[in-house]
Every structure is written in C-alpha cells, then in structure tokens.
Amino acid sequence: LLLYAQAEAAAIQSQKQKMLEAWDKLNAAIETRTRMLQDAEVLSRWLTWLHHGLSWISSAENLILTAKERENEEIEANCGRAILQYELPRFVNQHKQLWDEICAWESSILFHCEEGATASFNCSLETEDFEVASTFIGIHKMLTRSVNQLKSECEECPTNGALASAVQKAVFVVLGEAQPLLPSQVMKNGAALLLIHFYQLKINWWRYWRHLKVLSAKLDILRDLQNLENWIETMEPRVETDDLGESLEETMVLSEEHRKFSRAVASQEEKCRRLAEFELNQLEESDPEWEKGIERQMVENLERLNILPRMPSTPVAVSSESMSLQDDYKPAEELPFERLEGVLYQKLQGQRLSNRGKRSSRWQKCFAVLNPITISLHTLEVIWQDVALTSHD
C-alpha cells in the first residue's frame, strides 16, 4: 500500500487539487447566487412598496374627490344651508383625519424615496451581463411590468401642477430612452414619481381644506345675517312706538326702556358694521404662496436625493409662463437674483459731424430679460427712436 501511495502520489495530489478547485468554485457560485437573490429580493420588495405607496396616494385622492361629491349632493338634495351646517363639521373632521394619515405616511415615503435613490447592487444587475444573460430575464420582465404599472397609476391619479407634470413627463422620457432598463434607473425614477405625487396630494388636501374653511366662513356670515335680521324684526315694534306717556311715572318707564333699547342697538352696531362692510371676495379659496412653498419642498427633496430628472431644453421662442416655470426648477435660495424683465435703451453712436467736434447719438429701444440661471442678458429690438442728444468724444 505504501509503495502504491508513493507511485500514485502525483495523481493523488492532482485529484486533491481538482477537488479543492471544484469546492472553491461551488462556494463562489453559491455566494454569487446568494448575492443575486438578495439583490432581486431588495428590488422586488422596494417595487412592491412603491406601488403600494402610489396606491394609497390614489385612494387618498379618491377620498377627497368623494368628499366633494358628497358635499354637492347634500347641497342639491336639501336645497338649503340648514342641513349643510350640520353636515359640514363631519366633512371637516374627516378631512382632518386624512391629514393625520398623510403626516403618518410622510416619514415612510421619504425613507423609501431615499432608499430608492441610493440603491446599490452587489451582483451583475448593473453590468453588461444584465442585458444579455438569460439569468436576468425574470428581472427584465419585472422592471417592464413595473414601468407599465407606473404609467397606469399615474394616469389614474394625474398631476394638476405645471411643475409636477413637467417632472413626471421627464421621468417617463428617461425610462423610455433607457436601453437597457436598469434596476437603479427604475428605483430612482420611481422614487421621483412617488415624491411628486405625495406632494400633489398635500396640495390637493390643502385646496379642499381651504374650500371647507371658506364654506364654513360663508355659512357663519349667513347665520349672523339671519340672526341680525331676526333681531331687527323683533325691535321694529319698539322703533314704531311714539308714546311719550301721560304722567311722570309713565314717561320715566318709557325713558328707561328706551335707554335699554339704545344699549341693545349699540351692542349690535359692531356686528352690523362688520357684516355691511364684508364682501365675499375677501374669502379666497386658493393660497398660491402655500402651494409654491410645497412645490419648493418637492424640488429640494428631488435635488437632495439627486433624482430630479433632466428637463427638456427650452426653445428660443417661449411664453412668459414657460420661462417662469423653467426658473422654478432651481430653488430660489440658489439663484443670485430673481428673473428680471423690462425695457432697455441702448445708446448707439452716429457719425461725426463735419462742422462740429461732436457725434450725433440715437437710442435703440429693446425688451430685455435677465436670466438668473444662465446669468445672461437677452435683448429683443422693439423700435428705433432718434433723440436729440449728442455726446463728446
């Protein structure tokens, strides 16, 4: 046996080496498979939560829409404000509860957006093998299905703000142009969609809240007017009386009653004056400053997470609204100054006059725009205007 072992020592050593290499290869394959499954699980779990979050936002939007419809039905069915005064507190309480739910979801949504924005994978999900390897066919199908579902969800819950709509459009442009569609791209752009729809939900909630507060204020005004009108009607008999009394006692009693009546009228004077001066246009349902603040928060979070998609370039001939919208993509605190527009006069030198040592001048009238993003001045000639001015060399 010893002689056989010595004779076969080289073969045994070679067999042992092959066994060790096979063992290492097996462990490497297991480790690679483990990492791939972990990455696939992270991706699948995050996409599931993304659609769950968007589904909740859609249901919250539907709650607001349903509340508006119920309010209109109550008004049409009862043809008056009496029943609405009893139902309005219920609408307000339900809307407050929705806000509590929005606040409870906010931290979770921001956390998952940050998770999607900073996603990194350990295996070949982000390499050239991802596009060609048959191992990733299931992942490709998952990503394609997820993008199609995102489009469907965004169609069911459209954005109603110009800035949010522009960001959403840019997101789908990026996803449509991606070849191949990588997991990190879907997660980052999905996080952007989740974020803009969440802030749109906040704006829609605020708009209906303002509507409820204005409606409540209008009902209060109507109630005060009705109460004051009823009070005036009860006071009419006292106003119409012209009895001065037939004796000192009767006159003193009438005087005391008149003083009480005067004090009662004086106590109602402030309310009467306030109601007389009140105009319904003082109650504004919209609050553009608050909405702009929410949009700024949205853009700041998109930029902080580095998931604000590249916006399409603006054509030369654009409207003032479009130019203002492009300016809004950049937070106000980063702009060195605000966008400025106005008339600018450019001084042009004329030819030297032969009989004088002076030059004639004329001024060109232009419309000028100073862009804070590019820090450049754009001018458009409006009209030539000659003026009687001269300048010395």
At 192-223, the pLDDT tens digits run 999 999 999 999 999 899 888 888 877 777 77
**Average pLDDT of span 377-386:** 47
* pLDDT at res. 264: 74
Q: What is the identity of the amino acid at 260?
A: K
* pLDDT at res. 275: 63
Pick 177 or 200 by higher pLDDT.
Answer: 200
Nearest-angstrom CA–CA distance, 158 and 180: 27
* pLDDT at res. 338: 60
User: Is the pLDDT confidence value at 300 over 70?
Assistant: yes
* pLDDT tens column, 68-121: 888 777 766 665 555 567 778 888 999 999 999 999 999 999 999 999 998 877
Nearest-angstrom CA–CA distance, 111 and 44: 17
User: Is the pLDDT confidence value at 375 over 70?
Assistant: no
Nearest-angstrom CA–CA distance, 29 and 31: 5
Helices (H), the chain: 2-7, 9-78, 82-117, 129-132, 137-156, 162-177, 183-240, 248-277, 288-304, 320-328
Which helix (H) or strand (E) segment holds residue 342: the answer is strand 340-352
C-alpha closest to that of 185 among 171, 202, 195, 206? 171
To 10 degrees, what angle do helices 9-78 and 137-156 make? 10
C-alpha closest to that of 199 among 113, 325, 310, 321? 113
* pLDDT tens column, 31-78: 888 888 888 888 999 999 999 999 999 999 999 999 888 877 776 666
Averaged pLDDT of the chain: 75
| Structural domains in the chain plus CATH codes | 2-213 (no CATH), 218-282 (1.20.58), 332-393 (no CATH)
CB atoms within 10 A of CB 9: 10
* pLDDT at res. 383: 42
**pLDDT band (50, 70, 90) for residue 362:** low
Judge contact between 382 and 360, C-beta under 8 A.
no
Pick 192 or 357 by higher pLDDT.
Answer: 192
